[in-house]
Structure 1
Amino acid sequence: MANLTHTLRSGRRIGITTLGDPDAERIVVFCHSAPGSSVFDPDPDASATRDVHIVAIDRPGYGASDPWPYGEWPSITRAADDIAEYLRSVILAETPIGVERPRTVGVAGWSAGGRVALAFAARHPDLVDRVALVATPAPNEAVPWIPPELQAESDRLGGLAPAEAVQQLSAQLQPQADAVLAADGEGDVPLDAVGASAVDDAVLAGPGVRDRVGRMLRDAFRQGPAGAAADILSYTARPWGFDPADVRAKTLIVGGQGDALAGNAHAAWYKRVVPDARMEMVPGAGHLVIVPAWGRVLSYLAPGPTRS
């Protein structure tokens, strides 16, 4: 579970997981996958050695965060605004002793979390100076990746009332949630829900990786499948609500060359659309590229010396 909770001005509670030094000058926000939750640390060694304060927030309905209010459409931009509100009201409200200038923020997003990271940077440019986009699928109309029958179902759900759409998609995702929660332990959790495939086997063989991903998925479905359903609807059934071309922060786009879900074509689309972007593809990596690339992501978002 998240190690903190915070109540937003709206009265909705969010779960927060923090890592590293809370007084570090540099803050990195990590936006999780769908399904996912804030408890996932892609590489604890890399997280521990970078001089940074890492903040991850459960999106609505995941982990320790309340679901979206009844009757409200799930929204990428609202999720991004939740991050901004928390940072402004808690993390950035006071400057730690010894830090003489305003603290700066970098944001990383893995898979579906990449859209939230971009929305955060586009809508709150005063907070964000660097973005890392990792294995994030492009819009389906730009780079087709959603099977036509599933996109047709999303279009149908998009025409319903929000509560009905979430309820119907939740019922469709219930078997997936049941399979995750029925596993004997984190290491036995089926990982297809997060886009893992055979190309990720080498990554999953690393110390603790399978357990960490499994723990995240169990936390993601702790309240049931409604969080995942809402997340999916936010980017398949309704417009994203922001334009990636509005991002002015320096952006690193990272992809796995073996990622069948969000590979080279997706990374290249973001490289064309986001104004100040560079692209790096990791050989032999799949959708779990976030694990081997985490050290690189942190060095980009928090440039400077590491700590021993």
Structure 2
Amino acid sequence: MRLLTEGVVDRTVVLFGAEEDPDPQLTWQRGITLLADDGTAASHEPAGPAAVVGWSDAGLDALAYAAAHADLVDRVVLVATPKPGDDSLPFDAGDIRAKCLLLFGAEDPLTGARHGAWWQRRLPDARLEMYPDGTHDLLVPTWKRALSHLAPRCKR
């Protein structure tokens, strides 16, 4: 894991699918610790309450992490994550006890509403939000919304 932002509150967010903080100012305002997966997430144990966000194909990695650490990961955001090609998951979706927020763009040629609805049907506690003009590059434009779900009531 790679540290992107060191926080001042007891909240860690693990970012899958991006190497940089989508909006450092917004992240700083929340006071959270933001880590980026550098391929070592499978061996990383959260030290306390944690949340995960996965963009695009890395959303599967975020969900696998949430399933493996269901006792500590309480919030998940998927951003424009395509459903698996064969409709099967490498983990049991029922193991994910976290509240999930699904952010998809209606103008995304890779995912769109169809993929968002697929995830919503499979994840036990999921809310789907569609962005009418949203494309696949939705992580930065929705970062404020993602943080409000991942770190509720957290402020610097």
TM-score normalised by length of structure 2: 0.90
1:41 paired to 2:26: no
Structure 1 unaligned residues grouped into runs of 5+: 1-14, 60-81, 93-102, 143-238
SS of the aligned residue for 1:87 comes to: coil
- How many residue pairs match? The answer is 156
Residue 86 (structure 2) aligns with: 141
2:42 and 2:32 map into 1 onto residues whose CA distance is 18
Residue 16 (structure 2) aligns with: 31
1:272 and 1:42 map into 2 onto residues whose CA distance is 28
Would the aligned equivalents of 1:20 and 1:47 in 2 still touch at CA under 8 Å? no
Letter in 2 for 1:141: D
SS of the aligned residue for 2:138 comes to: helix
Question: Residues 276 and 86 from structure 1, CA distance in 2 versus in 1: closer, same or farther, beyond 3 angstroms?
Answer: same
1:130 paired to 2:88: no
Question: Residues 259 and 50 from structure 1, CA distance in 2 versus in 1: closer, same or farther, beyond 3 angstroms?
Answer: same
Normalized per residue, the structure richer in helix is: 1
1:140 and 1:305 map into 2 onto residues whose CA distance is 37
Cα offset for 1:49?
1.2
For residues 5-25 of structure 1, what are the alpha-carbon distances to aligned partners after superposition, in whole Å with 9 as ceiling and x for unaligned?
xxxxxxxxxx5132142x421
1:106 and 1:305 map into 2 onto residues whose CA distance is 13
1:126 and 1:84 map into 2 onto residues whose CA distance is 15
1:284 and 1:20 map into 2 onto residues whose CA distance is 33
TM-score normalised by length of structure 1: 0.48
Normalized per residue, the structure richer in strand is: 2
Moved over 6 A (4+): none
Residue 103 (structure 2) aligns with: 254
Residue 300 (structure 1) aligns with: 149
Residue 30 (structure 2) aligns with: 50
Letter in 1 for 2:66: A
Residue 64 (structure 1) aligns with: none
Residue 53 (structure 2) aligns with: 108
Letter in 1 for 2:82: P
2:89 and 2:119 map into 1 onto residues whose CA distance is 14
Letter in 2 for 1:243: D
1:57 and 1:274 map into 2 onto residues whose CA distance is 22
For residues 231-276 of structure 1, what are the alpha-carbon distances to aligned partners after superposition, in whole Å with 9 as ceiling and x for unaligned?
xxxxxxxx75213233111111111111111111000000000011
Identity of matched residues, %: 43
What is the root-mean-square deviation in Å for CA atoms of aligned residues? 1.8
1:51 and 1:306 map into 2 onto residues whose CA distance is 5
Alignment of 1:172-187 (within 5 A): none
1:19 paired to 2:18: no
Cα offset for 1:303?
0.3
Cα offset for 1:122?
1.2
SS of the aligned residue for 1:112 comes to: helix
Would the aligned equivalents of 1:246 and 1:274 in 2 still touch at CA under 8 Å? no
Would the aligned equivalents of 2:32 and 2:154 in 1 still touch at CA under 8 Å? no
1:288 and 1:20 map into 2 onto residues whose CA distance is 25
